[in-house]
Amino acid sequence: MREELLTIKEKALAGMANANSMKTLEELRVAIFGKKGELTQILRGMGGLSAEERPIMGQVANEVREELEQALEARKNALHQAEMAQAMANEVIDVTLPGKAAKLGSRHPMTMIIEELCNIFMGMGYEIATGPDIETDYHNFQALNIPEHHSARDEQDTFYVEGGHVLRTQTSPVQIRKMEEGKLPIAIVAPGKVFRSDDIDATHSPVFHQMEGLVVDKGINMGHLKGALTVFARTLFGEDVKTRFRPHHFAFTEPSAEMDISCFGCGGDHAKMPTCRLCKGEGWIELLGCGMVHPNVLKNCGINPDEYSGFAFGMGLERIAMQRYNIDDMRLLFDNDIRFLKQF
C-alpha cells in the first residue's frame, strides 16, 4: 500500500508539473482527490487494514495527501500568475492617447479676484454686502456728503436714468444702505459693478468693478484703518509688499488718504524705477482710497458721530485683476471670447 501511495504521489507530482492550464490541473485534481480519485480510493481501502497497520499507513497517506494538496495549490498559483501575465501582455494599450477629461468651464477673472478679496476680508470678520445698480441721487451722492453742484459730481461722469436716479458711480452707496439698517457695529465689504460714462478703450469701460469697505464701531481710529488695509495688502500681494498712506481728499471721509503699495515691477528700487512701466517711475502704485467716515455721513445715516467712528475704503478691481492675470487690455474682460475665458 505504501508503494501504491508513493506511486500515486510521484505520478501526481509529475502530472501537476506538466499541467499547463487551469483546466488540466483541475482534471488532475479530480483524478486524485475526486470521489473516484486514486487517492480517495486508497484512503477508502484503509478500512481493510489491520489495527497495527492502520495508524502507520494513515500517517503515510495523510502526508502524501498534504504534500499533494500543497503542490496543487502552488501549481495553481503559478498557473494563475502566468495566465494573468499573459492577459496583461495582451492588454497593453497606447497610454499616450489623450485622457477623457471632463470639459470644465471657467470662472470669469473678475469673479476670481472678487472672491479672493472677499475671502481675505471674511477672514478678518467682514460680511459681504450688496446694493442696487440703479441708485437714488441721495444714496450715491448726497448722503455721502456730495451735495448738488459739488465738483465731485463732475469728476464722476454720471449716467442718469428717469426719475432722477443714477447708475451708481461708486460702490459707496452700499455703505449708506448698511448704516441705514441701524445695526452696529458694522464690518462689511461690498464688491460690485459701477457705471461711468467713459468710452471703451484699453484702460476704460463704462462698466467696471469696485469694492467698498466700511467699519463702524466705538473707538475706531486711523490706526485701525491702517492696520486693516495693511493686512489686506500683505495678504493679497505677499508679505514683502510695502504700503504707504498719503493724505488725499474725499467728500465722505475726513481725514482721507490714499494707500499705495510698492510697485511689483521695480519694487521701489531707485535704480529700476525710472524705466518702470508699471509705476511710471514713482516706485509706488495707487491701490485704494480710504479715510475716517465723515461725521456728516454718519449723521445722515442716523449714527451719532460723537459716539461712533469708522473707516471706509474703496478700490477699483479691474486693475488688480489685470495685474494679477497679466491682462493688458480691459476690453478682453467684456469681450466674452471663449479663448480668453477658458484660460482662467
Partner 1 sequence: MNLPMSWLKDFVDIDVTLNEFADMMTMSGSKVEKIHHLGAEITNVVVGRIESVERHPDADKLVITRINIGNDEFRQIVTGATNIAQGDYIPVALHGANLADGLKIKKGKIRGVESEGMLCSVEELGHSRAEFPEAPEDGIYIFGEPQELGADARQVLGLLQDVVEFEITTNRPDCFSIIGLARETSATFNCELRITNYELEKPVTDRVAVEIRNDGLCGRYVAGVVENVKIAPSPQWMRARLMACGLRPVNNIVDITNYVMLEMGQPMHAFDIRAIGGNKIVVRNAEEGEKITTLDGMERVLDTDMLVIADEARAVGIAGIMGGEGSKIVDDTTTILFESANFNGVNIRQSSKKLGLRTDSSGRYEKGLDPNLSLACINRALELVKELGCGDVVEGLVDCYPNPRPKRELEFDPSKIADLLGIDVDGGKIAELLEPLGIKVNGNTAIIPTFRYDLEIWQDLAEEVARLYGYDNIPTIVAASSNVGGKTDRQRMEDKLVETMVSLGYSQMLTYAFESPKVFDKLLIPTDNVLRDVVKIKNPLGEDTSIMRTNPMNSILTALSTNYNRRNQNARLFELVKLYYPSLEGELPSEYEILVVGGYGNMDFYDIKGVVETLGSVFGLELAGQTNEFLPKPDAPWMHPGRSVAYRNLGHLGQIHPQVAENYEIGTPCYVAVIDFDLLRDQAEMVKAYRPLPRYPQIQRDLALVVKSDITHGMLSAEIRRAGGKILRDINLFDVYTGDKVAEGTKSMAYNLSFRADDRTLTDEEAAKATDKILKAVGDAFEAELRK
Query: For residues 298-317, which are near partner 1 according to CB under 8 A?
Result: 309
What is the smallest separation between the CB atom of 311 and partner 1, expressed in angstroms?
Answer: 10
| Interface with partner 1 (CB under 8 A), residue from 71, 134, 236, 327 | 134
In angstroms, give the least distance from the CB of 72 to partner 1: 38
User: In what helix (H) or strand (E) does residue 291 lie, and over which residues does it extend?
Assistant: strand 284-293
> Interaction with partner 1 in 10-29: which residues (CB under 8 A)?
none
Question: Regarding beta strands 186-195 and 166-167, do their DSSP bridges make them parallel or antiparallel, or are they unpaired?
Answer: unpaired
- The residue within the footprint of partner 1, chosen from 14, 85, 278, 338 (CB under 8 A), is 338
Helix (H/G/I), strand (E/B), else coil: 249: strand
Q: Does 294 bind partner 1 (CB under 8 A)?
A: yes
Strand partners, 50: none
> Would you count residue 183 as binding partner 1 (CB under 8 A)?
no
- The Cα–Cα gap between 154 and 25 comes to 96
Q: Which residues, 206 to 225, sit near partner 1 by CB under 8 A? A: 206-207, 219, 221-224
Grid coordinates representing 203 are 484702460
CB of 37 to partner 1, least distance (A): 40
Q: Which residues of 233-260 are buried (b: 16+ CB within 10 A; e: fewer)?
A: bbbbbeeebbbebeeeebbbbebbbbbb
Query: Smallest gap, in angstroms, from Cβ of residue 315 to partner 1?
Result: 17
Strand 186-195 versus strand 127-128 pairing type: parallel
> Which of 193, 272, 319, 324 contacts partner 1 by CB under 8 A?
193
List the x/- string, 78-97, binding to partner 1 by CB under 8 A. Answer: --------------------
Q: How far is the CB of 31 from partner 1 (least distance, A)?
A: 41
Q: Is 204 in the site for partner 1 (CB under 8 A)?
A: no
Q: How far is the CB of 341 from partner 1 (least distance, A)?
A: 4
Q: Is the peptide bond before 109 cis (omega within 30 degrees of 0)?
A: no
Instruction: Classify residue 223 by its DSSP letter.
Output: H
Amino acid (1-letter code) at residue 103: K
Chain residues 143-162 in contact with partner 1, contact rule CB under 8 A: 149, 151-152, 154-155, 159-162
53 binds partner 1, rule: CB under 8 A? no
Is the separation of the CB atoms in 234 and 220 below 8 Å? Answer: no
The helix/strand/coil state of 166 is: strand
Specify the residue for cell string 489495527.
51
Return the number of the residue (64 or 140) whose C-beta is nearest partner 1. Answer: 140
- Cβ nearer to partner 1, comparing 23 with 246: 246
With vertex at residue 63, the alpha carbon angle to CA 62 and CA 66, rounded to the nearest 5 degrees, is 80
Stretch that binds partner 1, among 16-24, 68-76, 77-85, 226-234 (CB under 8 A): 226-234
Q: How far is the CB of 62 from partner 1 (least distance, A)?
A: 45
Out of 245, 252, 308, 313, the residue judged to bind partner 1 by CB under 8 A: 245
User: Residue 153: in which H helix or E strand, if any?
Assistant: helix 151-155
Binding mask 318-337 for partner 1 (x = CB under 8 A): ---------------xxxxx
CB of 97 to partner 1, least distance (A): 20
Q: Cβ(118)–Cβ(191) under 8 Å?
A: yes
Site for partner 1 in 94-133 (CB under 8 A): 102-108, 110-111, 118, 121-128, 130, 132-133
How many Cα atoms occupy the beta-carbon half-sphere of 186 within 13 Å?
30
The helix-helix angle for 53-90 and 2-18 (nearest 10°) equals: 0
- Closest alpha carbon to 214 in 172, 247, 268: 172
Please, what is the minimum distance in Å from the beta carbon of residue 188 to partner 1?
Answer: 9
Indicate the pairing of strand 243-250 with strand 253-262: antiparallel
Which of 11, 244, 272, 319 contacts partner 1 by CB under 8 A?
244
**Per rule CB under 8 A, count of chain residues that contact partner 1:** 77
